Each structure stands twice: as structure tokens, then as C-alpha cells.
Structure 1
Amino acid sequence: MKSIFSTLVNVGLVVLVLCTSCTSDNPTEELAEAHYLKAVVNGKLFVADESNVVVANNQLHIVATHMESSTSIFFTLNAKDTGTYVLGVTEENLQNNVAGYLQSATKSGYVTTYAAGNIGSVSIEHFDIENKNISGTFNFTAKNSDYQSITIKDGEFQIQY
């Protein structure tokens, strides 16, 4: 199981490094510009100041990072259109959609592949590949390799990539 976790963390970090990014020094300014990813992580507000989107091979990869705290929320979804994508180890998630939360400074992370059952979803409300913008909402619970949980709720994103 730890090798699966390590692979997912490495994939998330590679996507983060290889993608082009949209940044802002001020998260509030970014929200005002209608380009954001935010959520409540274990009761604390997370607002990304950098976000990366890659669409390839019918997969959607989003990595959003808060640079000061070196934390990221990521999604890897088998998505090519709008809809709701189930997370967690379930019969409904045959596409292996994955989400997680990474803490780079401590090299720890939480992923939905460690959580049995339907533990969340990502809803894509707008997905325009031609004009390169996407928006939606998300909520999920993820676990680390020691099966400790983290809850991410009230997630929203609107990203121009």
C-alpha cells in the first residue's frame, strides 16, 4: 500500500512541476479575478495561489498549491466532460478517480485510495477544453498510509489554464 501512496504522491508532484501555472501573490486578488481553488481542510481555509491543469488521454489532472504552507490539493479524474466523479474505493469508481492533499514540507499526504466506500466527489460544472477553463465543486475524506483521516469540504474551483 505504501508503494501505491508513494506513486500517487510522486505523480502529483511531477504534474505540479511539469505544468504551466497561473499565480498570484495575493489569494484575495485571485478570487476577485475569478480564478481560484479553495476549500476547508480540517476546519481551516485553504486558498491556492497557484493552480495547474493538464488534460491528456481522457484524464484531467488538477494540482492547486498554497505556496507559503507548501500544501496542495490534487485530483486525477477520468473526465472529459461535465459531471460528478465519485472518489474512494467503490464499485461506482471503476475509473479510479483519485483526490488528495499533500504536505510537501513534511512529505506526507492523504489520498482517497486508502478510504473504502464513497468518501467524496468532484463535480465539474463547466469544462471548456478549447478555451481552457474549468469550474466545479468538491468534497472528500482522504487517509494517509497510517489510515489517519483528513476532511476537505466546501471545495470550489474556477481555473483558467
Structure 2
Amino acid sequence: MKSPDAFGSYGRIPVLTDADPRVEGRPLPPQQIVRALRAHDEPLGIALDTSRAHLHSTADPRLPAKFTVELPAGTGDRLLAQVRLLMVRQATSPWWEGYGHAATYHDRHGHLAVPQAHRTDDGYPLGIRINGLRRAYAQGRLAQERIDALEPPRWRRPTRRWSR
């Protein structure tokens, strides 16, 4: 994989199958390539985390504009969506998916006083997750990056922080 070009693109990441005549040996899985690039490109990491945070609201996650996924001719859009989903999930922390659910809950309800048993419409255990984060925060085990993500002004309450 080459360095980004003048437009910030890494070029193409071909998704090859063993049946593809261009394959010599074993191709690298695209998610492995994305993880390696992410390790050296902070804006790419932020874009991938943002995609992960929005997975609950889309069936076809967007990859950062730096990527073009190339599939063999005749491959359907459904497979392309699955490849994108795999690339985003394999290159990001599941924490960001929970963050996306929490942000959606906050936008709808104006708070994060999520009942312990609450599950989102797609079955995500948001109540358990939020309460676990509150425990980790109270015990000093929540990374500063995550505290910062959870505490912009819209998450704060007048008397107490998000860790209710």
C-alpha cells in the first residue's frame, strides 16, 4: 500500500477471493490493511471511529474517503456492504458503537439516565453498558479519551456529570 496521494487517498484495496485469477498466494484481509494504516494516520482513526459510532443507524457503513473497495466483477452490493462492515468493525473498538447508541439515546431523551434493563430497538444492551461505564468512571478505570468523548457540554447535567 502506498502513502496517501495529494488528495489524501491510499489508493485501492482490492478484495480478492481465492478464485480470482489475480491472486498469487494468500491475499491480506482488507481489515488487516485498514488496521495497519490506522495505526499511522490519526484522522483516519477518527473517521473510522465515527463510522463505528453510526453503525446502529445504517446497514451500509461508510468508509473514510481515503478508501476505495474493489470487488470482483459481478459481486453484489450486499457483499460490498458486508465487506465495509467487517472493515469498520475489525479496525475499531466496539466502544464506539456503544457511544453511538448512547448519543442517539441522549438526542431522543435529553439525558443519559438509562434504566439498567434498557435495550435499544436493535437489541443493544445500552442500560448495562452505561451503568458499566459509570462504574468504571467512579473507580478511575475509564480512559481519559472516553471521558472526554462522553463529557462535551451536551452530556453534562446541571448538578452532576454524566456519571449519575
Task: Name which one, 1 or 2, has greater alpha-carbon Rg.
Answer: 2
TM-score relative to the length of structure 1:
0.22
More helix by share: 2
The TM-score with structure 2 as length reference comes to 0.22
